[in-house]
């Protein structure tokens, strides 16, 4: 197989009769032919061929974006398109402030429409390539007591093996109460086999807001500005998902 992928983007379109079409569109060339293909929401891992042009741009057939039924893209080419798609939409976060900055996009990617403060955000993680964890799903809760009533719907049928907690709370004087909430989370998720790896708090997810570790009370910096692609996949570097070493140690 020898293809050249020349474009890949997420597209939202209104088809005939007002039917919305959401998904990826891509173009690639192979053996002198050019193809426009699409993968609508729910069609993964397959792709459909929207148009095919021969040498000198001779049209063999031309359809609009996402028109179905469509000729399927061969499986080996679809696999390469999927690899390219995931690379284009992956956002890698290597520190806690960047993770806090990603909270609005994380919630949108997992079908939440708004963030009302104060809030508890729990991310469930699955191993990716060495040194990285992919966010499988997230849950949004208030900052009250946490138990099985809250955790069971989030963790049902999950393949996660680690979790991270984020508490977004404008009042920094309530950190002791946050640490009690983290202890509840630790007990609950450890019992589910999805141990809590790390916990962080910030006054907001807006740029410039201060960020702390709830595991050792260390200030970690401020929330940066973060731009994310459409339909992102979020990955966390392993140190972001693990409890930090104590600030001080005793020599023995």
Give pLDDT tens digits for 137-171.
999 999 888 888 889 999 999 999 999 999 999 87
Domain boundary among 71, 89, 107: 89
- The per-residue pLDDT for 81 is 95
Domain count, the chain: 2
Note whether 29 and 135 are same-domain residues: no
Range of the domain at 122: 94-241
- The per-residue pLDDT for 234 is 96
Nearest to 181 by CA among 170, 193, 194, 168: 168
- Please state, in angstroms and rounded to a whole number, the distance separating the CA atoms of residues 46 and 190: 37
- The per-residue pLDDT for 144 is 83
Domain boundary among 69, 89, 109: 89
Domain boundary among 89, 119, 148: 89
User: When comparing pLDDT for 122 and 251, which is higher?
Assistant: 122
Note whether 85 and 99 are same-domain residues: no
> In this structure, what token pair is assigned to residue 37?
């293909």
- Please state, in angstroms and rounded to a whole number, the distance separating the CA atoms of residues 57 and 133: 43
Asked if 119 and 107 count as a contact pair (C-beta separation under 8 A), the reply is no
- The per-residue pLDDT for 178 is 86
The region of weakest confidence among 56-65, 114-123, 165-174, 218-227 is 165-174
Buried-exposed string 75-107: b where 16+ CB fall within 10 A, e elsewhere: eebbeebbebbeebbebebebbbbbbbbbbbbb
pLDDT averaged over the chain? Answer: 90
Note whether 63 and 123 are same-domain residues: no
Other beta carbons within 10 angstroms of residue 230's beta carbon come to 14
pLDDT above 80: residue 10 = yes
Residues sharing a CB contact under 8 Å with residue 84, sequence separation 6 or more, in sequence order: 5, 8, 26
Tokens 């990955």 belong to residue: 235
pLDDT (average), residues 49-76: 93
- Predicted confidence (pLDDT) per residue in 170-209, tens digit: 876 666 778 889 999 999 999 999 999 999 999 999 999 9
pLDDT above 60: residue 95 = yes
The pLDDT-based confidence of 1 (bands split at 50, 70, 90) is low
Q: What percent of the chain has pLDDT over 90?
A: 70
DSSP per residue over 168-183, as a string? E-S-GGGHHHHHHHHH
């Amino acid at each position: 197989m020898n293809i050249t992928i020349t474009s890949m983007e997420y597209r939202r379109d209104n088809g005939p009769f007002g039917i919305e079409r959401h998904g990826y569109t891509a173009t690639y060339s192979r053996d002198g032919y050019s193809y426009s293909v699409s993968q609508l929401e729910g069609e993964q891992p397959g792709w459909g061929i929207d148009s095919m042009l021969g040498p000198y741009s001779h049209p063999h057939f031309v359809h609009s974006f996402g028109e179905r039924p469509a000729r399927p893209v061969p499986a080996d080419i679809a696999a390469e398109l999927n690899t390219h798609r995931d690379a284009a939409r992956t956002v890698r976060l290597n520190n806690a402030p960047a993770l806090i900055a990603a909270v609005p996009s994380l919630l949108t990617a997992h079908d939440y429409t708004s963030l009302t403060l104060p809030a508890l955000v729990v991310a469930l993680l699955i191993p990716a390539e060495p040194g990285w964890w992919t966010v499988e799903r997230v849950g949004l809760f208030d900052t009250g007591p946490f138990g099985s009533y809250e955790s069971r719907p989030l963790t049902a049928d999950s393949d996660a093996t680690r979790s991270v907690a984020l508490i977004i709370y404008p009042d920094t004087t309530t950190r002791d109460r946050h640490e009690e909430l983290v202890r509840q989370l630790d007990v609950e998720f450890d019992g589910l086999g999805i141990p809590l790896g790390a916990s962080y708090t910030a006054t907001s997810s807006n740029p410039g807001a201060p960020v702390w570790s709830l595991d050792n009370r260390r200030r970690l910096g401020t929330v940066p500005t973060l731009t994310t692609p459409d339909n992102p996949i979020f990955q966390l570097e392993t140190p972001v998902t693990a409890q930090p070493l104590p600030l001080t140690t005793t020599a023995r």
